[in-house]
Amino acid sequence: MIRSFVEENFFYLHPGYTTFNTVVFGVVLGVIILGIMELFKRIDKDPEELLISLIPIIIFGSTSRALVDHHVYPRIHLLATPGIYIAIGLFTILLLITSLYVEKYLSIKYNKFIFMVGCILAIPNLCLIAIHGFNIIVCLFELSIVVVSYFMLCLLKRKIEFLANDMNVNVLTSHIFDATSTFTAIDFFNYSEQHVIPTFMINITHTSLVMYPLKIGVIAIILYVIDKQITDEKYNHTIKLAIFILALAPAIRNLTTLILAI
C-alpha cells in the first residue's frame, strides 16, 4: 500500500500533478533552496553569476524531458518527473562544486566552466531536435514575444523601481516565456495544463491568456517583497535564481514539446 501510494504521487510515469504532491514538492523545494543559500554563503559566490551560466543546463534538462515525451528517449523514472529534476539538480550542485576546484587550479572562472559543460550536454539534444524536424514558425512566434517583452521591461526601468535591477528583469522575462509557452500550447493547439493552480485559473477564465496577468502580477509582487525584505545579497539572489529556473525549465520543455509535435 505504501509503495503504491509513493509511486502514484511521487515516482510516476504519467503526466500531471495533484494538489497533494504539488504541496509536498513545494516544501521539498523550499528546503533545497535554504540548503543552497547556505552553500553560496560558504563558497562566497554570488548566485546572480549563474543566471546565464545555468541556461544550457536548463536547456539540456528541459529538452531531454521533451524528447522523452516524443519517444526519442525512453520513458523511465530517471527521465520522467520528478526523477529528471532530481538528477539534474544533484548534477548541477556537483558541477558547481567541481567548478570551484577548476577555477582554483586551472584559472577558469567557475561560471564559465558551468556554461561550457552545459553547452556540451545541450548540443546533442538540439541536434536531435533539428534531425527530428520542428515547427520554426511557432518557435519564432514564442521567442519574439519573449524578446519584445524583455526590451519593454528594459524601457520601464526608469519608471518602475524594482525593474532597475537586471536580475528582476530576467526573472520576470522567464515567467513571461512560461506564460507564452502555456498560452500557445493551450489556446492554439488544444494542449492541457498539468499544474494545479494554473488549471484552476484557466478553467475559471476559459483562456490561458490569464497566465500573463497571473504570472506578471504575482512574480512582480514577489520580487518587490524580496528586494524590500531580504537585504542579504546572496539570499536575495538565490531565491531569484530559483524563481528564474522554475519558469525557464517548463517554458523550454513546453516549447520543445510543441514544436516537435506540429
- What is the 3-state secondary structure of the chain? CHHHHHHHHCCCCCCCCCHHHHHHHHHHHHHHHHHHHHHHHHHCCCHHHHCCCCHHHHHHHHHHHHHHHCCCCCCCHHHCCCHHHHHHHHHHHHHHHHHHHHHHHHCCCHHHHHHHHHHHHHHHHHHHHHHHCCCHHHHHHHHHHHHHHHHHHHHCCCCCHHHHCHHHHHHHHHHHHHHHHHHHHHHHHCCCCCCHHHHHHHHHHCCHHHHHHHHHHHHHHHHHHHHHHCCCHHHHHHHHHHHHHHHHHHHHHHHHHHHHHC
Domain coordinates of the chain in residue numbers?
Answer: 2-261
Which tens digits make up the pLDDT trace of 156-177?
998 888 899 999 999 999 999 9
pLDDT in tens, 225-236: 999 999 999 999
What percentage of the chain exceeds 90 in pLDDT?
62
Report the predicted TM-score, pTM, of the whole model to 2 decimal places: 0.88
Per-residue pLDDT of 42-77, as tens digits, reads 888 999 999 999 999 999 999 999 998 888 888 776
